[in-house]
Structure 1
Amino acid sequence: MVRPQWLGVLLLCLVVAGVFAWLGQWQLARAIDTDPLPAGVTEEVRPLADVTAPGEYLPEPLVGQRVETSGTWVPGDFLIVESRYNDGAEGYWVTGQLRLEGADEPTSIAVAIGWAPTRADAEAAISQLEADASAPDAPDEPITVTGRLISDEGPFPPRSDEPPQTLTRMSPAALLGQWHDTEELNVYRPYLASESAAAGLVDISSPAPAEGSGVNWLNIFYAAEWAVFAGFAFYLWYRLAKDAWEKELEDFEDEHPGPGDGGAEDGARAAAS
């Protein structure tokens, strides 16, 4: 182990272990939130633009943040999302594309407008929303929507026996594929669950998010993994050096066999002759 070549290998292992130790420290720093959000901050209504921007992922502490924004509904983009539960009852969400007011470029956010117990009720509500949005005497003033900002649930393909346009997840990415007038459109990754439902729909039950502990156990697990990897680097050096030592012993024994390896028997034969 004190030969120059194995000291060089040990130095290399020290460098590798140091990198692993730094990665473990980095994971620990990310595991503990030293500046958590104050309790109840998600219940303060904030402007949407102050919380996140189009195309950005919603940080974990801000999931469920109450926000408000203004805009107009895009006709033809009221869609139904199935398998939505409201206070334990399964039903449907009616969603819409809200084209935001005051943006430098066309910008929209997906909004869950309300809940319906049956598809027929959801379709009736959509018919009313379409009529209001497309009416010639519809007011030009934008509407203000207040609700909770929720992360994208991710698209999910429908069953083979369902129409290909069936939606069972609240995913702005999936909704975008069925929206109109989307050329050069900026879209928010999270969606907005409205607190007040449109006519013919039920308010969506969206309680305040539970307060987090400020500790990310997954990051702590990763930090422990890096510590194990650092220890394995030293074990690898020890194992390689020991294997080389054992091989040298085997080669030496092969070149210099002892009495138990045939030397005594040869000597006895020589004496007998």
Structure 2
Amino acid sequence: MQSMARILLGRRTLGATALLVVALAIFSGLGLWQLEGWQAQRAAEERDLSTRPPVPLTQVIGADDPFPGDDVGRPVTVHGTWLPDTGFVVGPRPLRGRDGWWVVAVAVLEDTGAPDRTETSVPVVLGWSPDPDPASPSGPVDLTGFLQPGEGSLARDDDPTDRRFPELRLASLTEIVPVDLVSAFVVADDEPTLALPAVPPEDVPPVGASTALRNLLYALQWFVLALGALVVWGRFLREELAGPETVPR
């Protein structure tokens, strides 16, 4: 076996090591660049809209519009009138370790902009209550809240007639709300009528598992190439230290 120092300081080994350093710098740099792109795209999707200035609900979603996925948690203003005899609760929904209910009322919107002047309504989560039979508001509506999509886990409702729903599924409200509903509900931020504890809005949408997946796969590819370069260099070094094989005659 040749002298280790002579091998390590030899021209071949130094050249191979220099190539390794260059390859590691390139592969690792590209991998980190793709990884940063993956993180940036996911951060952009889970952005928090709750601090933006509120806009009228009717400017964000109309009567027949699908829910605007980019506006989850956006502050909106609701103007109109409370629809009588349409209050209900959703739950049980715990709040700070206590069991209770979301208190919901339906507001008929004004100035919907519908060409046929069809009335449109929206469910509004007024707050939280330990009482499943709270009072309902009446009169004009003028509040700010956070836009949310309807829930839909298909939780079973054992008694559809008791106005106690397991989730805020908009399709389930058609039997008690005689006015067209928008494809959303609002979590009130400043509704003082019933003096209920506020319900924290779920204002950050979940990030899909496939978001920026291509960037992540590219990053893994570059890191694997960097690892491969290390393996090749290690094999080269072992062969250099072992020296030329003796070929038997």
TM range (shorter): 0.5 to 0.7
Deviations for 1:159-190, whole angstroms, at most 9, x for unmatched residues? 6xx323341101222122222x33xx3x2111
Identity of aligned residues (%): 22
- Residue 125 of structure 1: aligned partner: 135
**Aligned counterpart for 2:210 among listed residues 198, 213, 218:** 218
Go from structure 1 to structure 2 and tell me whether the alpha carbon gap of 1:207 and 1:94 turns closer, same or farther (over 3 Å shift).
Answer: closer
Structure 2: gaps spanning 5 or more residues? 1-39, 217-249
In structure 1, give the amino acid aligned to 2:210.
Answer: L
Q: How does 1:129-208 map to 2 (within 5 A)?
A: 129=137, 133=138, 142-154=140-152, 156-158=154-156, 162-165=158-161, 166-179=164-177, 181-182=178-179, 185=180, 187-206=181-200
Go from structure 1 to structure 2 and tell me whether the alpha carbon gap of 1:52 and 1:42 turns closer, same or farther (over 3 Å shift).
Answer: farther
C-alpha distance in 2 between matches for 1:190 and 1:125: 23
Normalised by the size of structure 1, how large is the TM-score?
A: 0.52
C-alpha distance in 1 between matches for 2:172 and 2:214: 33
SS in 2 for 1:125: coil
C-alpha distance in 2 between matches for 1:82 and 1:38: 26
SS in 1 for 2:150: coil
Q: Is the 8 A contact 2:148 2:202 kept in 1?
A: no
SS in 1 for 2:203: coil
**Aligned counterpart for 1:114 among listed residues 127, 133, 136:** 127
Q: How does 1:251-270 map to 2 (within 5 A)?
A: none
Report the structure number with the largest CA radius of gyration. 1
Q: How does 1:77-96 map to 2 (within 5 A)?
A: 77-96=86-105
Kindly state the Cα deviation for residue 48 of structure 1 after the two structures are TM-superposed: 1.1
Kindly state the Cα deviation for residue 41 of structure 1 after the two structures are TM-superposed: 4.1
Structure 1: gaps spanning 5 or more residues? 1-31, 134-138, 225-273
Normalised by the size of structure 2, how large is the TM-score?
A: 0.56
- Residue 66 of structure 1: aligned partner: 75
C-alpha distance in 2 between matches for 1:150 and 1:86: 18
C-alpha distance in 2 between matches for 1:208 and 1:158: 22
Go from structure 1 to structure 2 and tell me whether the alpha carbon gap of 1:57 and 1:79 turns closer, same or farther (over 3 Å shift).
Answer: same
Q: Is the 8 A contact 2:49 2:203 kept in 1?
A: no
C-alpha distance in 2 between matches for 1:112 and 1:205: 8
Matched pairs, number: 172
In structure 2, give the amino acid aligned to 1:50.
Answer: Q
What is the root-mean-square deviation in Å for CA atoms of aligned residues?
3.6
C-alpha distance in 1 between matches for 2:45 and 2:160: 41
- Residue 17 of structure 1: aligned partner: none
**Aligned counterpart for 1:42 among listed residues 50, 65, 71:** 50
Kindly state the Cα deviation for residue 71 of structure 1 after the two structures are TM-superposed: 0.6
C-alpha distance in 2 between matches for 1:200 and 1:47: 23
Q: Is the 8 A contact 1:196 1:203 kept in 2?
A: no
Deviations for 1:30-77, whole angstroms, at most 9, x for unmatched residues? xx859x589654322111122222233333331111110201011110
Deviations for 1:140-173, whole angstroms, at most 9, x for unmatched residues? xx321210101110263536xx323341101222
In structure 2, give the amino acid aligned to 1:107.
Answer: T
Deviations for 1:212-240, whole angstroms, at most 9, x for unmatched residues? 8xx8542555999xxxxxxxxxxxxxxxx
Structure 1 position 100 matched with structure 2 position 113: no
Kindly state the Cα deviation for residue 211 of structure 1 after the two structures are TM-superposed: 8.4
Kindly state the Cα deviation for residue 110 of structure 1 after the two structures are TM-superposed: 1.0
C-alpha distance in 1 between matches for 2:195 and 2:94: 14
